Chains A and B, each alone.
Chain A
Amino acid sequence: MLEIKNLHANINGKEILKGVNLTVKPGEVHAIMGPNGAGKSTLSSVLAGNPAFGVTEGEVTFNGKNLLAMPPEQRSWEGIFLGFQYPVEIPGVSMVNFMRAAVNEHRKYKGEEPISASDFLRLMREKREVVELDNKLANRSVNEGFSGGEKKRNEIFQMAMLEPKLAILDETDSGLDIDALRIVSEGVNKLKSEDNATIVITHYQRLLDYIKPEFIHVLYKGKIVKSGGPELALELEERGYDWIKKELGE
């Protein structure tokens, strides 16, 4: 589904990713862990097509297509979803209008007619329940005045609405209390299927108690330096990242 080969990327001329390789197949859940500044968020931004980052080398194919050649909206239509670490507020634009615009753009790409008002409201209601999102939030402006937990739940709600093939969740656990963490994780688990894949980017083991990835990768200094099964996450939780640095001879 997703194949990243030797990906190099920079921001403002500073190289952050220095040759990332990663393969993700349908039905898989991957976790990317690593210390601060390792390039975790850069990787998610580059995959989503954030214009602030420049790609200098490497290839990314998504279902056989050249992902790096697509503008960000097309990546979304092709099925890539990024759950933002810091969801941005858009004053004046209601969640309802925002989601309807997004859903209809996705339908247009597939050659489908815009969704009817009643179908859309039904879909909203159904998907809201996945993350126990209050009806009132749907009528408020996008993320405006949302608490940290509400913003993250809102991200998962949008993911439920758009049914992506590949969801990249960037530090979705940061700033969540234990209840919100449970709701968000359960939401992600409910949306999991054999056809879609998830990349969870996180600092801590905590989230991985709920979302159980089969593959753990450690990103360090712009490269994936270690990959393994769930036991790797537990080891990291116990021993921190220093032993990895030692293993690398630092």
Chain B
Amino acid sequence: MALYFYNMENILDDVTKSDYKYGFVTDIETDVIQKGLNEDVIRLISSKKEEPEWLLEYRLKAYKYWLTLDVPTWAHLTIPPIDFQEISYYAAPKKKEGPKSMDEVDPELVKTFNKLGIPLEEQMMLSGMAVDAVMDSVSVKTTFKEKLAELGIIFCSFSEAVKDYPDLVKKYLGSVVPYRDNYYAALNTAVFSDGSFVYIPKGVRCPMELSTYFRINAANTGQFERTLIVADDDSYVSYLEGCTAPMRDENQLHAAIVEIYLHDRAEVKYSTVQNWYPGDKEGKGGIYNFVTKRALCKGDFSKISWTQVETGSAVTWKYPSCILAGDNSIGEFYSVAVTNNYQQADTGTKMIHLGRNTKSTIVSKGISAGKSQNSYRGLVKVAAKAENSRNYTQCDSLLLSSECGAHTFPLMDIGNSSSIIEHEATTSKISESQIFYCNQRGIPTEEAVSLIVNGYAKEVVNKLPMEFAVEAQKLLSISLEGSVG
């Protein structure tokens, strides 16, 4: 007599034990400097990058300040102590000269992009996207620069910007995220290797999505990216950031800074799909991701919109924030954070209302599976003079196992009585009856979970540009293959 017993916990196990699908290491010769951090290392980084004196001074100031700080411990994260002297702070792919066309790009690198499903050539030709592909710490290829240049748009690696547009960089670097902001911001400022720089001139709408694919690629190398976006009066740009990383045993530290400065009536959309190596199913390895992202809506009627789909990293510490300084400025934050196995995420946003009639929207969707911990941390602050401001916060958690955790830490600090603040929160679990209903229609459990999760995350995913939304949906399915309990 054959009996069929369907065991939910087993299914859960199967699902949550899926391996990282982008685990591979590219064989590219890398120029890595000695492990450890001191003033000499910072001078070496600066000289390798042929930086001006003021930038070196700025790095050193940040380094000295960093030395006075302690690692922050307030997040809902359990992290083993990081030995900052065991990390190499600079790695650049060795190359004879900078490539001038695709033909000159290292074939190994092209292969890497292809494995990731990001064929650079196709992207260039088909999607009309400009790709500033960052490999380890040095930008290898910047495209469409000429086309953008016609409009006066600057989109280049941070190093190039330092050389070619020193005045702009000097004016805005640290204007949104000063090095004194926090521990990892100070560290990044001291040792940042490269990143992207964007300037959209007055009245210009950038006609294409600007996209950077980051990839951490050298063993044991900290990755310290620096992105600076400046949107001048009446300008618009949509910026995409997406990442995957090869499988590693060692934990890799990543501490990036993204600064966005918006002038009057400027609008910036910043979208992220983050899929770094989360560690294996026992929680070994994986990226530590400590990011400081902030936009300053300095100008009146300016608007910043952050959208993020976070599925990767062993540890995520990330709060893309909006300082709404200009009157009538708008800040938005749409987030899906998925954690599985032993992943930990502490993520959310800060909406700082300083100007009058400022508006902010927060939609946060947490999805937890396995033994993971997923926290939303948010601050809504309305200054006394920020009259008639509005905030709407929606904070949802979806649980896929009985061993995971979902937490919310919302903080509201409202300084006047003319503002309106709304907060909604839900916690739900995918029910066995939902799964059975899908099964009965012929949809196996894994596909059912994927369908339900994508439905749950739709509101956020739909905010992503089309190409990204498709990729994000695939990612959600891959990260959660099968987890219900």
Which residues of A come within 8 Å of B, CB atoms? 48-52, 54-59, 66, 68-73, 75-77, 81-82, 84, 87-88, 90-94, 97-98, 101-102, 105-106, 109, 141-142, 158, 162
Contacts and interface: CB of A to CB of B under 8 A. Distances in A.
B433 A73 contact: no
A106 B442 contact: yes
B442 A51 contact: no
A56 B3 CA distance: 8
B6 A72 contact: yes
Given A77-B442, A102-B443, A109-B442, A51 B458 contact: no
B439 interface: yes
B455 A92 contact: yes
Contacts of A141: 455
Contact of A71 (B3, B6, B451): B6
Contacts of A51: 5-8, 432, 436
B437 A90 contact: yes
B113 interface: no
B2 interface: yes
26 contacts: A48-B436, A51-B432, A52-B432, A52-B436, A54-B3, A66-B2, A69-B3, A71-B4, A71-B6, A71-B444, A72-B436, A73-B439, A73-B445, A77-B442, A82-B440, A84-B437, A90-B452, A92-B458, A93-B452, A97-B451, A98-B438, A98-B443, A101-B438, A101-B447, A105-B447, A109-B442
Interface string B142-183: 000000000000000000000000000000000000000000
B6 A49 contact: yes
Given A59-B1, A92-B452, A92-B455, A98 B7 contact: no
Contact of A73 (B5, B443, B455): B443
A50 B436 contact: yes
Contacts of B454: 92-93
Interface string B229-269: 00000000000000000000000000000000000000000
Interface string B442-485: 11110100011011111000000000000000000000000000
Given A55-B3, A55-B4, A68-B4, A97 B441 contact: no
Contacts of A68: 2-4
Nearest to A87: B437
B458 to A, nearest CB: 6
B6 A91 contact: no
Nearest to A106: B442
B434 interface: yes
A105 B440 contact: no
Contact of A91 (B433, B442, B447, B456): B456
B431 interface: yes
A148 B411 CA distance: 41
B456 A92 contact: yes
Contacts of A55: 3-4
